[in-house]
Amino acid sequence: MNPIKTYAYTHIIVISIVLISSCDITSNSIKENEFSSETIEVQQSTIHIPVDSLGLIVYQTEPVVHEKGDDFFMYAYNRHLHSFDIYNLTKKEFDHRILLSREGPNEVNKVYSAYVKNPDSIYVMGAGRLYLLDRHGVVRKSHNTMFESLQNSTDGYFHSPNEADFKIDEKGENFMGFFIHNDTKASVRTTASLNNLILGNFNLKSSSISFYPVSYSEFIRENQGDFTEIKPNFSFIGSKLYYGFPIESNIYEFDFLTEKTTVHGAKSQYSKNQAERYSLIPDYDYRNEGTWFNSVNKYPGKPYYYRTHWGSQEKLQLNGEPTNALTKSGYIIFFDSELKIIKEIEVDKNCYLEGSFATNEGVFFWAKDGTDESLMKLCNYSIQ
């Protein structure tokens, strides 16, 4: 055989083996499911809540639900007014509105996410700032969340993307949230950058920062962070942090008391459970074709959890037309108290998957066909 042809043939085989091996490696870190022995029935219904002349029938920013006594209140950010519109979800009525200032001593520059410690202590993540507001929108305190030349750490900042919630401790002294190091922002990430600890504790009194032993997943690290999206989802529930990444199905449970992490398999039966490596498929559109996993949340009043996700789809529909956001299906998985899968269902296509929230009456989604500007229409999925 011609030596040149032999070399070329061997080279092709080597490349093929490398590609196949890399696929095998990525699949090994995605855990298999454990299924619960429990069974549930999920009922779908429609809920209506009146809004005033300044309210919205769909709020695009992730709402915050605060439980006070027997009632659940939704704090929904109104971009047009730069306000928090507050609804009593239990009584199905508008409660009141907190107008925020765009300038001056009470300026709130942006609202990316919020945490309601109590009605008179509302924390808001803005652009490079953490604000503490009272019930009237007065800024009681403001903290810089951008940091440079940190000891034992690279430069970075606290961030709240992809449902990466944050938490304030009971004394109001410590902020816990996602810290993004500047060296992980680039598309080509180093092994060292992917070993960075990403759960930071910001002492609001001393302005010092420390980190918990939480980092990017094994799936992300072994694939060199070669994905279009590696920012996490964070949910603080009790003494634990439940987190995951949009590009993989695993759920991670970090216990603050033991500082140990448990990995749970949470594969969808309808969707792909890991994203493709960005560099291996140049024309891969993750947002359109890939599965996007959202955060894990508690189902209030019952020993269950749930997680929504956008399902995967091909580039083309069966009729040859391109797929898009309107053809992408959404799903919800219910888990028992040990994060074993109970049930997975497809969300009605008439419901927006983004911005879901829950009370003891079920999981709520904004309805797409709300036309009455005086009435908020919500899809509700309740466990019977």
User: In the structure, what pLDDT confidence band is assigned to residue 372 with cuts at 50, 70 and 90?
Assistant: very high
Helix extents (H) in 102-217:
191-194
The pLDDT of residue 4 is above 90: no
Mean pLDDT across 142-158? 80
pLDDT class for 162, splitting at 50, 70, 90?
Answer: confident
Q: Which residue has the tokens 């055989």?
A: 1
* Sign of torsion over alpha carbons 274, 270, 346, 290: positive
Among 18-27, 179-188, 277-286, which is the least confidently predicted range?
A: 18-27
For the segment 99-116, the average pLDDT, to the nearest whole number, is 97
Q: Tell me the pLDDT tens digit for each residue of 166-193.
A: 999 999 999 999 999 988 877 678 888 9
User: Which residues does 152 contact at the CB level (< 8 Å), separation at least 6?
Assistant: none
Per-residue confidence band for 154, with pLDDT thresholds at 50, 70 and 90: low
Q: Can you give the pLDDT at residue 179? A: 95
Residue 174 and residue 57: Cα distance in Å, rounded?
Answer: 35
Tell me, what's the pLDDT at 283?
87
Q: Report whether 236 contacts 168 (CB < 8 A).
A: no
pLDDT, mean of residues 103-130: 96
- Provide the pLDDT for residue 81: 97
The tokens describing 345, both together, are: 């269902």
Task: Look up tokens 């269902």; give the residue.
Answer: 345
In this structure, what token pair is assigned to residue 93? 């009525």
Residue 225 pLDDT exceeds 50: yes
Tokens of 31: 């855990």
Which strands sit side by side in the sheet containing 121-125, from one edge to the other?
113-118, 121-125, 129-133, 139-144
Q: Which residues contact 193 (CB under 8 A, 6 or more apart)?
A: 154, 181, 183, 184, 225
pLDDT surpasses 80 at 360: yes
**Average pLDDT for residues 361-367, to the nearest whole number?**
97
CB atoms within 10 A of CB 280: 12
The answer to whether residues 348 and 44 touch, using CB atoms and an 8 Å cutoff, is yes
- The confidence band for 27, taking pLDDT boundaries of 50, 70 and 90, is low
Task: Count CB-CB contacts under 10 A for residue 83.
Answer: 18
